[in-house]
Amino acid sequence: MSDIEPARVPVSSGLRDVGPINWLICRLGARGIRAPQFQLFNVLSRHSLLFWSWLPFSGVLLYWGRLPRPDAETVILRVGALRDCEYELQQHRRLARSRGVDAELQERIFAGPDAAGLTDRQRALLRATDEFILNREISAPTWAELTKHLDTRQQIEFCLLAAQYDGLSATMNTLKIPLDFPD
């Protein structure tokens, strides 16, 4: 473990460090993921204004969005794989299983849009995610395929979801946020 860089910002969410409301949010978040600590919240809560602005936006995308939850997890897992973000992958491998994305489908997601056994919808989501993340845009043919499966609101949400998790991956990797689970 000596080759793992230490966190670049404090990950403690002590009451004095983050204040009573953020402390409570960090504790509830950790309980929600069934971990002793929710390191992402511990770090982000140290900047209250940004944390409080980000939390509702992130919550809408993750829990109340228009994309079906398995679709959202497909996009998030693909972003995490493309960005080599173990924190994101550790969190969402677990969450995805609870949302109908089993280990076998997860392996297909990690293999990419040409993996055997994917539906046309899954292929469209993965191809669009790859282009969005790697090219910073989506080609006309890929967009046309995506629109066969998503309505207008879902198309907008897809872009914001991919961008949100790309930004989170970059933030988590840059800040060297430690994993929440020992596995």
User: What is the radius of gyration, based on Cα positions, of the chain?
Assistant: 17
Which residues have C-beta within 8 Å of that of residue 135, sequence separation ≥ 6? none
Q: Where in the chain are the domains? A: 20-63, 69-175
Q: Which residues of 118-138 are buried (b: 16+ CB within 10 A; e: fewer)?
A: beebbbbbbbbbbbbbeeeeb
The pLDDT score that the predictor gives to residue 177 is 95
> 79: closest CA among 92, 61, 63, 66?
92
Tokens of 170: 């970059």
The pLDDT score that the predictor gives to residue 119 is 98
DSSP label at residue 181: S
Provide the CATH topology of domain 69-175.
Answer: AhpD-like (1.20.1290)
The pLDDT score that the predictor gives to residue 44 is 95
**Could you count the other beta carbons within 10 Å of the beta carbon of residue 55?**
16
DSSP label at residue 11: -
The segments of the chain whose pLDDT lies below 70 read 1-3
Tokens of 86: 């173990």
The pLDDT score that the predictor gives to residue 1 is 41
Instruction: Express each pLDDT in 37-54 by its tens digit.
Output: 899 999 999 999 999 999
Instruction: Express each pLDDT in 88-117 by its tens digit.
Output: 999 999 999 999 999 999 999 999 999 999
